[in-house]
């Protein structure tokens, strides 16, 4: 087991990371607002599964393969960038709707919401990088099983991330009613969301491999 001091320090770092806007947060907020809080929480379940996947890979050393093989990392990075560009196009295309427009939007099934949340997280290579680079810094072979310590740290990060994102998803749902009475803000938000998603896609596709 990791020592308490190290575990707390790791939890604080995990909190700082989850509060930094990224693809997961953008997706959860848009889902929660366009389809309701329940949809946002279902999507969060998929995101959480993505965390579990990467955490288990890191714990068993599989994620190292992604970092060791440039083409594997690049495929994941560009796949994520293309997915974000698709979401950006959905926001700004002619006849497109703002994620804040709840009425008349087609509702996705819980299965699709869960799957899309999972893919959003899975196609974010920074998650793999985070687990591979961050976990080893808090693992001490003198404190017992390395695998057990990795799992404890990993589940700590997941617990922090899920808790914070759940609060964000629930709060985001209340914004829909506010914006529904202000059409101009809906247009502004639609283009702002598309710009942010496109920016994230470009950043993900062009940033150097670390």
- pLDDT computed for residue 54 by the predictor: 87
- pLDDT computed for residue 186 by the predictor: 65
Average pLDDT over residues 199-208: 69
pLDDT in tens, 46-82: 999 999 998 888 878 756 665 667 676 677 667 767 7
pLDDT in tens, 139-192: 777 777 778 888 888 899 999 999 999 998 888 867 666 666 776 766 776 677
The structural domains of the chain, with segments of one domain joined by +, span 4-206
DSSP 3-state percent helix, strand, coil across the chain (nearest 5): 80, 0, 20
- pLDDT computed for residue 32 by the predictor: 85
pLDDT surpasses 50 at 103: no
CA 207, distance to chain mean position in Å, is: 18
Higher per-residue confidence, 197 vs 195: 195
For residue 105, the SS3 value is coil
Q: How far is CA 83 from CA 27, 88, 147, 197, 201, in A?
A: 11, 9, 33, 10, 8
Q: Chain-wide mean pLDDT for the chain?
A: 76
- pLDDT computed for residue 158 by the predictor: 93
Higher per-residue confidence, 52 vs 20: 52
pLDDT surpasses 50 at 120: yes
């Amino acid at each position: 087991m990791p020592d308490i001091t190290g575990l707390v320090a790791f939890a604080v770092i995990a909190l700082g990371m989850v509060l930094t806007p990224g693809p997961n947060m953008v997706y959860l907020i848009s889902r929660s607002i366009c389809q309701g809080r329940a949809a946002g929480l279902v999507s969060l379940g998929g995101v959480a599964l993505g965390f579990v996947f990467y955490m288990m890979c890191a714990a068993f050393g599989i994620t190292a393969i992604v970092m060791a093989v440039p083409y594997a990392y690049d495929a994941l990075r560009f796949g994520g960038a293309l997915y974000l560009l698709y979401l950006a196009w959905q926001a700004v295309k002619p006849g497109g709707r703002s994620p804040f427009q709840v009425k008349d939007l087609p509702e996705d099934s819980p299965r699709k919401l869960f799957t899309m949340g999972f893919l959003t997280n899975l196609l974010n290579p920074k998650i793999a990088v985070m687990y591979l680079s961050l976990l080893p810094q808090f693992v001490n072979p003198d404190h017992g099983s390395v695998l057990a310590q990795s799992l404890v740290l990993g589940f700590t990060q997941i617990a922090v991330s899920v808790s914070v994102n759940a609060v964000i998803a629930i709060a985001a749902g209340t914004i829909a009613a506010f914006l529904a009475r202000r059409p101009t803000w809906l247009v502004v938000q639609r283009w702002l969301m598309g710009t942010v998603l496109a920016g994230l896609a470009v950043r993900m596709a062009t940033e150097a491999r670390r």
